[in-house]
A and B are shown apart, each in its own frame.
Chain A
């Protein structure tokens, strides 16, 4: 699967789960795994850090 921003190859670990964030190694864009069924993975743009994020 390739990055929608820069087309670099995204390395998605086999044990990655829905909701996890994948970062593009080239441009740094963050994607969230929105669906994962076997090797079929769907990504969406991750939310940016919010003012209320944290503990």
Chain B
């Protein structure tokens, strides 16, 4: 029997399912709220109830990333590792890694000021999709189809002027059916997949109300997921694919603390159980 610690900052159904499956497998579990946990440079692993392995499940990306850094400082095995979280948490880093590993992905353009973005778009032409480099659930993702929309988007970024507002991540608009595919990867193995259908809009995020529908995992998907996992550094991932009319499957996003409340409704595999087993086995090796 092992002990698994689930680090969270908002207890969602996913974390409760992980706790339930860990208990069902006979493992002890501890639930640790990152918001009320403090660590210092003299801290020791034994000061905390981290068990044998930690599943980092914070809903706040930066909180989870920095907490993971502390865990690795304390030599606590954590899933996902800091490098994986860092690679997936920033869309620009993620796109560069995908391309570097020859994984089919939408063509993406990067600029580092409003002038650079304007010049880039004028060169490439409309339409393009702009995405914030940090962020989830489709927030801030919008198609840029004309100059008026471009000017409005740039004006908003000039007003908010956060550090990431100066990083422009612009992606080709993919001709595809009104859906995408979410595959959950555990240690490079595709364990479950679903179509996420939009309700007529541009976005297909479950968090925005897209309907989950089971997707059969093909050999091509298995290979894509295995290669994507290797590129990001392994662990537990949510790999998002689009079906391009000409090029076929493209990986457009990889998620670090993957949500699965939509997919558990339709999946054949027991997703949280596979995640827990992987976490435990990773420290037994």
Contacts and interface: CB of A to CB of B under 8 A. Distances in A.
B60 interface: yes
B11 A55 contact: no
Given A50-B60, A54-B59, A19 B139 contact: no
Contacts of A32: 10
A14 interface: no
A52 B61 contact: yes
A51 B137 contact: no
Contact of B11 (A18, A53, A54): A18
Given A19-B10, A19-B11, A55 B256 contact: yes
Interface in A4-49: 17-21, 32, 46-47
B135 A52 contact: yes
Interface of B: 8-11, 15-16, 31, 33, 35, 59-63, 134-137, 139, 162, 207, 238, 255-259
Contacts of A19: 8-11, 15, 31, 33
Given A54-B135, A54-B137, A17 B60 contact: no
Contacts of A20: 11
Contacts of A18: 11, 31, 33
Given A17-B31, A32-B10, A47-B10, A55 B257 contact: yes
Contacts, number: 54
A47 B8 CA distance: 13
Contacts of A51: 134-135, 139, 162
The 8 closest A-B pairs by CB, nearest first: A54-B136, A19-B11, A55-B255, A52-B61, A20-B11, A54-B137, A55-B136, A52-B62
Contacts of A55: 136-137, 238, 255-259
A50 B8 CA distance: 15
Contacts of B139: 51, 54
